[in-house]
Amino acid sequence: MAELRFFFGTMGSGKSTQALQIHHNLSSGGLRCMLITQLDRQDGVVSSRLGVSADAIVLDGTVDVFRLISVEHQIGDGLNAVICDEAQFYEAHQIDQLTRVVDETDIDVYAFGLLTSFQGDLFPGTKRLLEMADVRQELQVEARCWCGARATHNARLVNGRQVYDGELKVVGDTTQDGATGVEAPVVTYELVCRRHWMAGRVDVHQDPLFDTAF
């Protein structure tokens, strides 16, 4: 029986790497897989920070995922699995569509994503996955805050300063507005522990208590 499986972790925990590994293993075993993503670091592929990548279908929030997969499933011998990277960016109704894929077409779905946004809230897609998935599994590759504690939160930095407001979906390392040529704010992300995420401290030199706190 097919299942919807959700694997979650922080940035740098190997989500995309594992998604690519599952895609490779299943494909090498003769199974037909579909790889999909949203807002990956490279357009048209799923890429890992380790330097591996594979071609993927890029979605936006308007795509009917059930229809997309159903059409592909009608080709040849059909699909055996769908691997979804950056699943936190999917709309809640798209997660329901993935649930229909599992229940109505008997195709396994593997979803990989973050739990919380830079604001400390569950992404809508993540929330729905936690509600609907047959299997929920945290990836065990741990990242560390600059202070040495376990990193649990994603901090968004705009020109080096942590922010808590702004659009939910912003790709990091944006340096210039291509349409106007005007220098745009530099958006980056950093992994920090809960304490330093709440304090807005993303560097050891910003924390006067660091010498005594750890």
Distance CA 30, CA 32 (A): 7
Distance CA 74, CA 81 (A): 13
Place of tokens 């949203």: 38
The bridge status of strand 153-158 relative to strand 183-192 is antiparallel
Residue 103 is inside which H or E element, if any?
Answer: helix 92-105
Distance CA 24, CA 47 (A): 13
Distance CA 5, CA 87 (A): 11
* 183 in active site: no
Candidate list 3, 86, 91, 138, residue with the active-site label: 86
In the β-sheet with 81-84, what is the strand arrangement from edge to edge?
A: 57-58, 33-37, 81-84, 108-113, 4-8, 135-138
Give the list of residues 6+ apart from residue 120 with CB closer than 8 angstroms, or none. 153, 164, 197
Residues designated catalytic: 86
